[in-house]
Chain A
Amino acid sequence: MRALRWHGRHDVRVETVPDPEIVNPHDAVVEVTSTAICGSDLHLYDGYIPTMKKGDILGHEFMGTVVEVGREVHRVRPGDRVVVPFTIACGRCWFCRKDLWSLCDNTNPNATIAETAYGFSGSGLFGYSHMLGGYAGGQAELVRVPFADVGCLKIEDASIPDEKVLFLTDIFPTGYMAAESCDIHPGDVVAVWGCGPVGQMAIRSAFLFGAERVLAIDDVPERLDMAKAGGATPIDHQKTNVLDVLKDITAGRGPDACIDAVGMEAHGLGPSDLTQWYDKAKQALRLETDRPTALRWAIMACRKGGTISAPGVYGGLLDKVPFGAAFGKGLTFRMGQTHVHKYMRPLLERILAGDMDPTFVITHRMALEDGPEGYAKFLRKEDGCIKIVLTP
Chain B
Amino acid sequence: MAETSNSNRGEAQRERGMRIATGALGSALLVGGLRAGRAGGLLLAAGGASLLAKGITGQRRAFGTSGARVRQRLLAPSGEVDLHRAVTIGRSREEVYAFLQRIEDVQRALAHVSELRRAADGSLRFTVRERQAELEWTIEIVEATENERIAFRSRPGSDLECEGSVELSAAPGDRGTELRLHLRCAPPGVSGRVGRTLAPLRRVLGKHQLGAELGRMKQLIETGEIATSAMRGEEPAMLAMNHGREEVHA
Binding site for B on A (CB under 8 A): 18-26, 50-51, 70-72, 75, 90-94, 96-97, 99, 101, 105-113, 115-116, 124, 130, 133-136, 144, 146-147, 149-150, 341-342, 344-345
Report whether B232 and A26 are in contact in the complex, using a CB–CB cutoff of 8 Å.
no
Report whether B222 and A109 are in contact in the complex, using a CB–CB cutoff of 8 Å.
no
Q: How does the 8 Å CB contact mask read for B85-124 relative to A, with 1 for contact and 0 for none? A: 0001010000000000000000000000000000000000
B215 interface hit (Cβ, 8 Å): yes
Q: A22-B235, A25-B235 are in contact. Are A113 and B249 (CB under 8 A)?
A: no
Residues of A contacting B229 in the complex (Cβ-Cβ under 8 angstroms): 109-110, 124, 130, 133-136
Nearest-CB distance from A65 to chain B (Å)?
18
Residues of A contacting B39 in the complex (Cβ-Cβ under 8 angstroms): 51, 112-113, 116
Q: How does the 8 Å CB contact mask read for B224-245 relative to A, with 1 for contact and 0 for none? A: 1111111111011010000101
Report whether B250 and A23 are in contact in the complex, using a CB–CB cutoff of 8 Å.
no
Contacting B230 at CB < 8 Å: which of A23, A105, A111?
A23
B131 interface hit (Cβ, 8 Å): no
Q: How does the 8 Å CB contact mask read for B205-230 relative to A, with 1 for contact and 0 for none? A: 00010011001001100111111111
Report whether B250 and A342 are in contact in the complex, using a CB–CB cutoff of 8 Å.
yes
B14 interface hit (Cβ, 8 Å): no
Report whether A115 and B222 are in contact in the complex, using a CB–CB cutoff of 8 Å.
no
Q: List 13 A-B contacts (CB under 8 A).
A: A20-B231, A23-B230, A90-B219, A91-B247, A91-B248, A112-B39, A112-B43, A113-B39, A115-B211, A124-B229, A136-B229, A136-B231, A342-B250
Taking A92-B248, A115-B211 as given, write out 20 further A-B residue pairs in contact, using a Cβ cutoff of 8 Å, ordered by the A residue number: A23-B235, A24-B235, A24-B236, A25-B238, A26-B225, A75-B249, A92-B90, A93-B222, A93-B223, A94-B175, A106-B219, A107-B227, A109-B227, A109-B229, A112-B39, A112-B208, A130-B38, A135-B229, A144-B231, A147-B223
Contacting B232 at CB < 8 Å: which of A18, A107, A110?
A18
- Chain B's closest residue to A346 (CB) is B250
Nearest-CB distance from B44 to chain A (Å)?
12
- Chain B's closest residue to A17 (CB) is B231
Residues of A contacting B224 in the complex (Cβ-Cβ under 8 angstroms): 25-26, 72
In Å, the complex CA distance between A63 and B229 comes to 19
Residues of A contacting B226 in the complex (Cβ-Cβ under 8 angstroms): 24, 109
Residues of B contacting A110 in the complex (Cβ-Cβ under 8 angstroms): 40, 229
In Å, the complex CA distance between A341 and B250 comes to 5
Report whether A20 and B232 are in contact in the complex, using a CB–CB cutoff of 8 Å.
yes
Report whether A24 and B228 are in contact in the complex, using a CB–CB cutoff of 8 Å.
yes
Report whether B228 and A109 are in contact in the complex, using a CB–CB cutoff of 8 Å.
yes
Nearest-CB distance from A76 to chain B (Å)?
11
Report whether A94 and B90 are in contact in the complex, using a CB–CB cutoff of 8 Å.
yes
Report whether A111 and B215 are in contact in the complex, using a CB–CB cutoff of 8 Å.
yes
Residues of A contacting B211 in the complex (Cβ-Cβ under 8 angstroms): 112, 115
